[in-house]
Amino acid sequence: MKIATNTLLIYVLVLALALTQGCKKSFTDPGGSGDTTVVANTTIRDVKARYTTGAPVAITDELIIEGIVACDDKSGNYYQQIALQDATGGVLLRLAGSNLFNQYPVGRRLFVKLKGLFLGQYNGTLQFGGGVDSAFITQGGVTLLAPNLFDQHIVKGALNQPLTPKAVSISQLTTSLQDPYISTLIQLSEMEVAPGDTARNYADASQSGNRVLQACTAPSTNRITLRTSNYANFANLKMPAGNGSITGIYSYFGSTRQLTIRDTSDVRLSGTRCGTGPAALMSTAELRALFTGSSTFAPSGRKITGVVISDRTTNNLNNQNIYLQQGNGLAGICVRFASAHTFNLGDSIDINVSGQELSEFNGLLQLNNVPLNFAQLVSTGKTIAPRVATLAAINTNFRTWESTLVRVATVTFSGGTGGRWGGSVTMTDASGTLPVFTSTGASFAAATYPTSATSLTGYLTPFNTTKQISFRNLTDVEGGSAPPPPPSGGLLLTTSPYTQNFDGLANGLPQGVYVKIGASATSLGTGDMPVFPTAGFATPTAWNQTSAGAKNFASATGLTSSSDATAQAASTNRALGIRQTSAAGYDPGSSFLFELANTSGKNNFQMSFLFQSLDATPGGRTATWRVEYAVGDTPSSFTAVTTAPATLTTNVGTFASTPVTVNFGSALNNLSQKVWIRIVTLTATTGSNNRPSTAIDDLQLTWN
């Protein structure tokens, strides 16, 4: 009997233990399937349409939506929210608490009873919440739904429902409240992390990470931000450096398009990066033939090769551009890189053109926004023999020969601005004419052109419907005769505005511009620098150099007060300056002077310029300047003009570049006489020790 009792006792204990274990539920086991009789009576898209702007919208009718959870908080990349989507769109549910994935994991079907909830937004992404966030009511802010209300509004459906991401391109994603892809699972293909972000983690230790994803096609514009919370369990992992597909939830924040991944299994960027894999050679002519009038893209797995026929060192083209010719007598093309390049004249390079944009800019066909890493230097010191042709032949074959090197023999030059290369000069041979275009920022823009030359070599580059040629440096003009006589008559006021950036100072002062000393209330002054090249301007001068005279200074633009003499000398952005000393005529009496032959037919003159104080050496004097004008060949009186700002000073110890504007009103209207405008110091400097280095840059005159 005792044995039977013990046996019974053991049996009861075992049964109790079994029942206890059978009722115990895993922490990560999702809840039951809920009320399967619930039926949706509207779509996510239709409910989202109720909100347009401003305060959240209260849902007061018996609406029910049905959807599948597209993103939960399991990895920590979402917090107190889940993304729900149906066939029409997606929306966020703001839910208080953590570990929401235990009840609402990715792939679970949910039915949401909306009555009593509020529909609002957070910087463009629509969301349902339990109430109105009064602090952000005008921006559509909603509060979290309390946990005790979850079951009242959310009915759990079946688990592990299929959810296929929608394959889209970045261009399909908008920043519209009603964008159908918002808060839905999407997949982007042929993507990679931007080069600058490949060495970073998904997020930083102290803040969420915004990393740039870019497409192989037009990477500078086809971009989206990968948003990762610093609380995500993968936040401290390195970003992948390859190419491939990425899946995530699309949203936008203000004007920024964003993608949020659930975990790193959404990221499949392990392929070869754009522009670095094997590529088959295609001819430049084949590449050009792809363009039929509208922007297009080069096929994948292709590259072109060629020799650089442009010269970046003379600044006669944008620092992101090169002209590349495949070989002697073969096709060429302009390549615009996504940033400034370092390829030199004569470099042989290969360019992976996979997915790159082929488009026109002002009539010039170019490979546009090519990442620098798509181009590889093969060798240096190569030459392309220019095609020898007449201007008539060039005009006939211009489109075919565009962006290639040509040589025209026995030519003359005329027109242009003041006998200088800067701008457009007409080249003539026995068969016709062609404009020679030189950027005003080119190192030889201020050089005078010859009346004739044995030949000119350059590359063909159109501007809209104008056929024109540009050359690399002055050695491209061979056997030139003596230049025309120096021009006279003041600033060349052909069309408004007249602009002068002084970048060509090494070749002398522009026509009509002078630097005077000994200026007074009754005199223009003396000691003006000559119009044409002088040794004084050929060599740049450092800001803190203390000898008196007119100076070829580096402009303050793009540099800092600590930029040394080497950096200043290397800067292509120049400014016209003067260093005052105690020498007679400098303090007071220094003047920047501008001559206008007349203002006939011109009215309402205005002037603007950058007024620069350049010597940041501590301690020194202050000079006060003013703007004046006078009329006549040798004026003896001057009229001061109000400037904005009203007081113009330069000071030793101060580094500044101040925009100045001057309105002459009707004072200079339609005058048949010579007009003088000057920026002058007529009072002695104040203080002690050195006097300042003063400069002007980016001068502009406008009129009607």
- Domain boundary among the residues 357, 379, 401 is at 379
541 is a domain residue: yes
2 is a domain residue: no
Residues of the chain with pLDDT under 70: 1-36, 220, 481-489, 527-538
Residues 228 and 316 in one domain: no
Total domains in the chain come to 5
Residues 508 and 598 in one domain: yes
116 is a domain residue: yes
Cα–Cα dist 326/168, whole Å: 36
Residues 666 and 519 in one domain: yes
Cα–Cα dist 119/133, whole Å: 11
pLDDT at 506: 81
pLDDT at 482: 52
Question: pLDDT tens digits, residue range 54-66?
Answer: 999 999 999 999 9
DSSP 314: G
485 is a domain residue: no
Residues 391 and 366 in one domain: no
* Phi/psi-derived region of residue 279, left when phi > 0, alpha when psi is between -120 and 50, beta in every other case: beta
Residues 691 and 653 in one domain: yes
pLDDT at 301: 84
| Strand 332-337 to 296-297 pairing | unpaired
8 is a domain residue: no
Cα–Cα dist 614/562, whole Å: 11
Residues 467 and 348 in one domain: no
pLDDT at 220: 67
- Domain boundary among the residues 271, 291, 310 is at 271
Q: Cβ-count burial of 313 within 10 angstroms (0-12 exposed, 13-18 middle, 19+ buried)?
A: exposed
Helix (H) or strand (E) holding 259: strand 256-260
2: which residues sit within 8 A by CB, 6+ positions away? Answer: none
Residues 405 and 351 in one domain: no
Q: How many CA atoms lie within 13 A of 20 on its CB side?
A: 6
Domain span at residue 620 reads: 498-702
30 is a domain residue: no
Question: pLDDT tens digits, residue range 291-304?
Answer: 999 999 888 789 99
Residue 320 belongs to a domain with what CATH number?
2.40.50.200
Is the torsion defined by CA of 504, 506, 508, 513 positive or negative?
positive
Q: pTM to 2 decimals?
A: 0.52
Residue type, 587: D
Which residue in 155, 530, 220 sits closest to 374, CA to CA? 220
Residue 568 belongs to a domain with what CATH number?
2.60.120.200
Residue 259 belongs to a domain with what CATH number?
2.40.50
338 is a domain residue: yes
pLDDT at 34: 52
Residues 144 and 171 in one domain: no
Residues 332 and 230 in one domain: no
pLDDT at 21: 38
Q: Cβ-count burial of 17 within 10 angstroms (0-12 exposed, 13-18 middle, 19+ buried)?
A: exposed
Provide the mean pLDDT of the chain: 89
pLDDT at 527: 61
**Residue 153 structure tokens:** 């509004």
Is the torsion defined by CA of 531, 534, 539, 541 positive or negative?
negative
pLDDT at 575: 95
CB 94, CB 144: distance < 8 Å:
yes
Residues 182 and 318 in one domain: no
407 is a domain residue: yes
Residues 139 and 174 in one domain: no
Residue found by looking up tokens 């926004």 in the block: 369
Residues 541 and 689 in one domain: yes
Distances (CA, A) of 598 to 236, 237, 489, 632, 704: 70, 70, 9, 9, 14
Q: What's the chain's length in residues?
A: 704
Distances (CA, A) of 115 to 29, 47, 48, 59, 153: 29, 12, 14, 5, 8
Residue type, 429: D
- Domain boundary among the residues 379, 413, 445 is at 379
Longest dimension (CA), the chain: 141
